[in-house]
Structure 1
Amino acid sequence: MAKEAVFTMKLEPELRDAFMKAAAAADRPASQIVREMMKDFVETHEEPSLEYWEFVRRGVERARKDVAEGKVFTDEEVRERMKARFREWERIKREGAA
């Protein structure tokens, strides 16, 4: 990607100095770090893809079907199932470490 745009911003001198010091300590150009932060921010704030919404729709349909068929669990049942799973995972972890 060509780097032809210029971005100017105002910030506190102390923040700028601390950032420049941290970038130098990481042996990286400040502009590279800012570009990475901007890309990360854009990625996390993009509109979800059509594939994502299809995934959500399928999950909702599956949940509605389960409810219609009476396949529901109380809060306590879910907690007990998860406790059992965690106990099993801990057992497997202990056996693997032995």
Structure 2
Amino acid sequence: MPNQTTFTIKLETELKDAFTKIAETEHCSVSQVMRDLMQQYIERHEYKHFLEDKVTSARASIANGQSIPHQDAKAIFKTRREKV
């Protein structure tokens, strides 16, 4: 990691002790676990926005008449499944 910084947080002693103990039993540093948790949080946030954008786009398509009825979609995918 070329650019590193220190991140300080306040938390309950019991939480810190339990967290540290678990990290040690898994042979991981607390720093590594925190990096992993932060990365997962970022990825979850990005995925949430990705889904929101997809829904917004789909709703716009429907509003613009660029969709097909549900029964037609079912029939199209039934045909595709049968080909496989």
Cα displacement (A) at 1:40? 0.2
- Deviation digits for residues 14-44 of structure 1 (CA, Å, limit 9, x no counterpart): 0000001000100111100010000000000
- Deviation digits for residues 60-83 of structure 1 (CA, Å, limit 9, x no counterpart): 65x93125xxx27xxxxxxxxxxx
User: Which has the bigger relative contact order, CA under 8 A and spacing at least 6?
Assistant: 2
Q: Does 1:66 align with 2:73?
A: no
Q: Which runs of 5+ in 2 are unaligned?
A: 73-84
Alpha-carbon RMSD:
3.1
Determine what percentage of the aligned residue pairs are the same residue: 32
CA distance 1:12–1:28, change in 2 (3 Å):
same
Provide the secondary structure at the position in 2 that maps to 1:65. Answer: coil
TM-score (norm 2): 0.60
Q: Which runs of 5+ in 1 are unaligned?
A: 73-98
Q: How many residues of Structure 1 are paired with residues of Structure 2 in the alignment?
A: 65
